[in-house]
Amino acid sequence: MPSSIRVDCNVPMKTRDGTILRADIYRPDDNSKHPAILFRTPYDKSLSAQSDYLNIMQAAQAGYAIVVQDVRGRFASEGEWRRDSMFTVEGPDGYDTVEWIASEPWCDGNVGSAGGSYLAGLQWATAMESPPHLKAMAPWFGIWGAGMEPRPTGGAILLTVALAATPMMAVDVANRLERDGNDVTELRHAINWAMDNPEESADFLPLKEFPLAQFDRIRETWNMRLYPPPASEQSKRQRFENVMTPCFYACGWYDIIEWATFESYKMMRERGGSARARQGQHILVGPWMHGKVHDFLGALNFGQFAGIRQAQVSEQNIAFFDKYLRGMDIEIPAVRYFVMGRNRWQTADDWPLPQTQWQQFFFHSRGNANTATGDGELSRDEPSLENPDIFVYDPHRPVPSIGGRVFGTGVVPGPLEQSRVEQRGDVLCYSSAELVEEVEVTGPLQVHLFATTSARDTDFTAKLVDVYPDASAFNIVEGITRASGRKMNGVRELVTPGEVNEYVIQMGDTSQVFRKGHRIRIEISSSNFPMFDRNLNTGNPIGEDARGVSVTQTIYHQAGYASYIDLPIIPSSREK
C-alpha cells in the first residue's frame, strides 16, 4: 500500500470539441501505474469527493487513482451546461475523459467509474458510448438519464426532488453569470427564497410560474422535472446493449431512486452488451435514504450492522473494483440486502428472490374504511359483495408526507409514526389481523385498485405500513398513480367521471419482516404531499392551474372489482 497520496487540483483535459474540463486527481505518490476510478459531477468536484459509498482516500491508499471532474459548464470546467446535456454532450465528454485517463502515465489502462444520483446518470451516458478502457462502473442510487423518472407514477412528479435540485443547480449558474458581468440580484433572491422557505415553495401554484423557473438559465431545469421526455423517447436512450461493463449498484430502501436502481440491475442482467457485463451485475441495498448510510433513520434504529462502518460499504466498492479492474479472484454476491424488522443482511443470486411466493391480500370493509379506527380489513380471502369506500380529496388540504422516500429541505425521510395521517377521513386503512407468526415481505410490490372518481383526472396513492402491538404504525414503502397516466405509456388519457378503472400502483421494492403480534396495513388516498405534486383534479396539464377542485373517490372491493396488494412473501424456513 502507498505511504502517501498525491493530490493534483484542476488538471485540464480537452474534449473532442476543444472544451476544457478540469479534475482533481488523488493517487499514490509513486512512479507506478494504477487502475483509475472516475467521478464526474455537476455539484462541484471539491464536494463530490466526499461520499458515504466510496472513501476516495481509502481507495487511493488501496492503490487506485481517483479522478473527480466537474462536467462541462459547471464550476471549474469550461463550456455551457444545459439540462439536456445528459442526452447530448455528457456521453461523448465521458468517453473522452475515460480515454484520456487511460493514456496518462500514472494509469495502467484499466478505468472504472463511480458516483450516485446524477453522477450515476453521467456514468450511464458514458458507458452507452462504449469507451474501450471503461472496465467497471458503480452507479449508486441513480437513473440511466436525466429526465427519466426515478419510479413509475403515471405523470405525478417527485416535488421535493424538484424543489431541492433546482435551486442547488441554480447557484453555480448565478455565479457564472455574475463573473460575466451580469446583475444576478433577482436570481439570487429567488434562489434564497426557494431554499429558505420549503413549505411556501411546495405550496406555490401554478407550478409553471415557480419564481426560479422565470429565469432563462433555470427554466429548462424546472421544466424537465415537470415535463420529462415521453416513455418512447426515454427507451431510445436506454442503450444497455452498448454497455460492456460489470456494475455495482447501491441504494437504500428509503431512497427516492430505489426502483430505478433495481430496474438498471435487471435490465443489465438481460440486455448488457457482453457476457462479462450480464454476469457481473451486483447490487447492495440497506435501510438508508438517498445518498446517506446510517444505522438510524427516521424514528427507527436498524442496529450497528446497518451503519457505514459495520456495513463496510466503501470496502465492498473497493472489492468490486479489485475484481473487475485488477482481476482479483473475489466472490461478490449478485444481491446483498438488509432485511428490516429482523435487521440482518442476506445475499441472493437473483431478484426477485427465487423462493418468492406471491400472495394477494384483498381489501375488505363494510363501507367505512376511513381512518385507522374504521372497519377496513386486509386478508387472503377474496371479496364477494361489499360496499365500496368513499372519501373526498381536496387538493388544498392534501395528505402530508410523513417520512418515506423523500429528499430535500423541509422533509424527513425514512420510517415515521403515521397516526396523524391515519386519523384523516380521506385516508382509507385496510389492516390484517394480528399475525400469529412473523411474515417476511421481500421484493417488488404492486397495488391493484379498482376505483372511480368524479374528476377527469386525479391521483391514487398507496402506502404499506407496519402496525405494532401498541397500535403505533410505521411506513415502509409507498406509491402513486396519476389517473390520466394509468397506462404508463407517457400518453395522457383523461378518465370518464364515474367509470370504474383499474389503477396499478407501483410501490418499488422492500425487505421487511412483520413480527408476530404486528399487523400489515395498506393506506389508500389521493395525495402524499410534498413527496409528490398535488393533482388539482381539473384535467388540465400539469403546472397550469392556480386552484384545484375537490372530488369524490370511490374504492371498490367486490367480485369483479377486487382491490388488492400483491405481496412477495418469503417462506419462513429462513434462519431467524
CA-to-CA separations, 149 to 226, 259, 369, in angstroms, rounded: 10, 10, 32
SS in 3 state form for 193-230?
HHHHCHHHHHHCCCHHHCHHHHCHHHHHHHHHHHCCCC
Which one of 70, 255, 459, 533 is the catalytic residue? 255
Q: Find where cell 446524477 sits.
A: 118
Rounded CA-CA distance 366/374 in Å is 9
End-to-end CA distance of the chain: 40
Q: Say if strands 459-467 and 519-525 run parallel, antiparallel, or are unpaired.
A: antiparallel
Output the CA angle 8-12-13, nearest 5 degrees: 130
> Which stretches of 352-442 are DSSP H helices?
419-422
Is 255 among the catalytic positions? yes
Long-range contacts of 80-85 (CB under 8 A, 24+ apart): 81/42, 82/220, 83/146, 83/147, 83/220, 83/221, 83/223, 83/224, 84/146, 84/147, 84/220, 84/224, 85/146
With residue 428 as reference, give the H or E element that holds it. Answer: strand 428-431
Give me the phi and psi of 270, to 5 degrees please. Answer: -90, -40
Cα pseudo-dihedral 501, 504, 505, 511, rounded to 10: 150
Is 290 among the catalytic positions? yes
Rounded CA-CA distance 568/576 in Å is 18
Is 282 among the catalytic positions? no
Which one of 282, 290, 364, 448 is the catalytic residue? 290
Q: How many helices (H) and strands (E) does the chain have?
A: 15, 24
Question: Beta partners for 249?
Answer: 283
Calculate helix-pair angle for 90-103, 118-127, nearest 10 degrees: 80
What is the DSSP code (8-state) at residue 496?
Answer: P
- As to burial, measured by CB atoms within 10 angstroms (0-12 exposed, 13-18 middle, 19+ buried), residue 197 is middle
Nearest to 521 by CA among 427, 387, 390, 458: 427
- Look up residue 323 and give its three cell numbers: 475484481
Which one of 85, 117, 365, 526 is the catalytic residue? 117
Evaluate whether 474 touches 412 at the Cβ level (below 8 Å).
no
Residues recognised as catalytic: 117, 255, 290
